[in-house]
Structure 1
Amino acid sequence: MQQADGTVDLVDEEYVVGLSGAALFAALAGALAYLSVPYPLSPAPVTLQVLGIFLMGVFLGAKWGGLSAVLYVLAGSLGAPIFAGGGAGFGTLLGVTGGYLWSYPIAVVLMGWLAYGGLGIGSPQETSDARLVAALAAGTLVIYAFGTAQMLVINELALVEAIMVGAVVFFPAEAAKIAAVIAVVESGAVPDWSPTGAEQRG
């Protein structure tokens, strides 16, 4: 019976940590999305929104990070002003930059799975920088594939032009965001949400 009780406690703790983390990181992504400036090389602005998406994958893993991304997109589509520059509404998802938003849950699940080899919350401090960078790079490709595809269709762009203005021009900024995530991990500024980290804090 003691073993069963311990299992229930662990499951309950995972849900408490996962749900609270999902809400917290969704709010963080919304706050970062306000840091947005027009970009003359693209219809999409330069924003720190994707930094929040990266942090979801790294600190919450595939399952809970994916839930956080879904909460973020859902809240914004229902009217919360948390998209880039304070944008909101389902119309944003159907607009020229909507493809990026649709991609976020998929990108976060992929990043978490590649970083930790499963769906649960992993420990970024115990994962190599190379693996984290690879996971973040893969997530970036998903985000820009979706964003470019929707931009191509809505603006009726040629494929090469769409790839340039929808993805390539943003790659230096995304590389800087990936470097920032690694710096955050190494600094320990964000608590380790994994079971290992919880044990160490306890």
Structure 2
Amino acid sequence: MNTRDIVYIALFASLMAILGLFPPFTMPFTGAPITVQSAGAMLAGALLGARCGALSVVLFLVLVALGLPLLAGGQGGFGVFLGPTGGFLLGWAVSAFVIGYLIDKFQDYLNGLSVVAIIAFGGIVVLYGLGNAWVAVAVDISYWQATVASVPFMIGDALKVFAVTGLTLAVRRTYPEGLRA
């Protein structure tokens, strides 16, 4: 890892903190917030690659665990990882890794559609797979019930996928190798 990687890791952790300034929208009846921060994890993976993208999210999550109020709504502290959304928080790092890995693996075949598919897979399928599993455990419901309850959130995440895809393609046009050394 070189200095450039470390700077980008810190920069994207900061970006996730900035995205936390957007107030969360809490869904009625669920109490779970819709935030913009998951887009930061998607973007980190897409632009920094698997390792650096995941590390940027891990750095952000360590700061949250240490008590910094960096999550949307000013949340922070280790306790947020034990609540119903804890699986989604940890899933951000896995999501960034998967997106970065797939972007790198299929780099020679990337176009708008493939980037949408990769970001949707990592940012929705993988993230909700992990997040819903934790919701099911934390709230003591079935995995199916957790998945059904998460459908309204997936609509917002689908919009984030398209926004992140647009940003990713714009950056890749300017920096074809991505934000890598």
- TM-score (norm: length of structure 1): 0.79
Indicate which of 150, 156, 174 corresponds to 1:173: 156
- What are the within-5 Å matches in structure 2 for residues 27-176 of structure 1? 27-35=14-22, 36-40=24-28, 42-117=30-105, 127-139=110-122, 140-165=124-149, 167-176=150-159
- Counterpart of 2:21, as a letter, is Y
Over the aligned positions, Cα root-mean-square deviation in angstroms equals 2.6
Instruction: Give me the identity figure in percent.
Output: 31
CA 1:162–1:187 in 2, change beyond 3 Å: closer, same or farther? same
Paired residues of 2:47 and 2:179 also in contact (CA < 8 A):
no
Gaps of at least 5 residues in structure 1 are 1-13
CA 1:152–1:185 in 2, change beyond 3 Å: closer, same or farther? same
Shift of 1:188: 4.2
Gaps of at least 5 residues in structure 2 are none
Distance, in Å, in 2 between the alignment partners of 1:196 and 1:155 is 39
Residue matched to 2:4: 17
Count of residues paired in the alignment: 179
- TM-score (norm: length of structure 2): 0.87
Distance, in Å, in 2 between the alignment partners of 1:80 and 1:196 is 27
Please identify the structure whose Cα radius of gyration is greater.
Answer: 1
* Structure possessing the higher relative contact order (Cα contacts under 8 Å, 6 or more residues apart): 2
